[in-house]
Amino acid sequence: MKPKKWTSNKEDGGFGTLILGEKPEQLPEKTFISLTRGEGLNFVQLAINNILTLMVMNQMKKAPGLLYAELIGELKKGRGTGQTMTVWDGKSMPQFRNRNNHGFAMKFFGWVIHRKNTKTYYLTYSTNGTIPTVSEATKIVKEYGKFYDGGVLARKATPPAFGKDTKTS
């Protein structure tokens, strides 16, 4: 198997996108997509987020079951937005999510990102056989994802019913 490698893409409307692997043309039957989005991050939150992201990116290269990943970031008017999409074969995501650098980052990340100035979204769902584009992923996570407004849970996740085994997170 070819080793996974991060590449940079400056397309998609000026977003800075980091991509891990090649987008598969066909997906396994049991494929999950995980989306995370944070909006309104200030400079300090962005700096901490970047450090945590760099730690997790290394772990992602070695994660079994991770088929593809995109990390998107944007800075406008002094506020940052970050979005992560990972595509997983089967149920290997929880093992990755809860261990090593990602496990640490999740514990620390909540303290950093759930603040009065932010809006955050989280969603894991069974795919319908396709990987969404950046704009589609944004729309999906904002419409169906668990939503925190200013650090307060405003809505629980209600994933799109693309597959029979829809999972929430």
Number of H helices, E strands in the chain: 4, 8
Domains parsed from the chain with CATH numbers: 9-20+29-155 (3.30.70.100)
Nearest to 80 by CA among 123, 33, 112, 34: 112
Enter the tokens of residue 87.
């595509």
**pLDDT for the residue numbered 168:** 46
Enter the tokens of residue 6.
């991060």
The model scores a pTM over 0.85: no
Q: Could you report the per-residue pLDDT of 92-149, keeping only the tens digit for each?
A: 665 665 555 455 555 556 656 667 888 989 998 988 888 999 999 999 999 999 999 9
CA distance 9 to 15: 8
111 Cβ contact list (under 8 Å, min separation 6): none
**pLDDT for the residue numbered 154:** 95
Enter the tokens of residue 114.
């759930």
Residue 14 pLDDT > 50: no
For residues 120 and 37, is the Cβ–Cβ distance under 8 A? yes
126 Cβ contact list (under 8 Å, min separation 6): 30, 31, 32, 159, 162, 163, 164, 165, 166, 167
Q: Could you report the per-residue pLDDT of 23-71, keeping only the tens digit for each?
A: 888 888 888 898 989 899 888 888 777 777 777 777 777 778 888 989 8
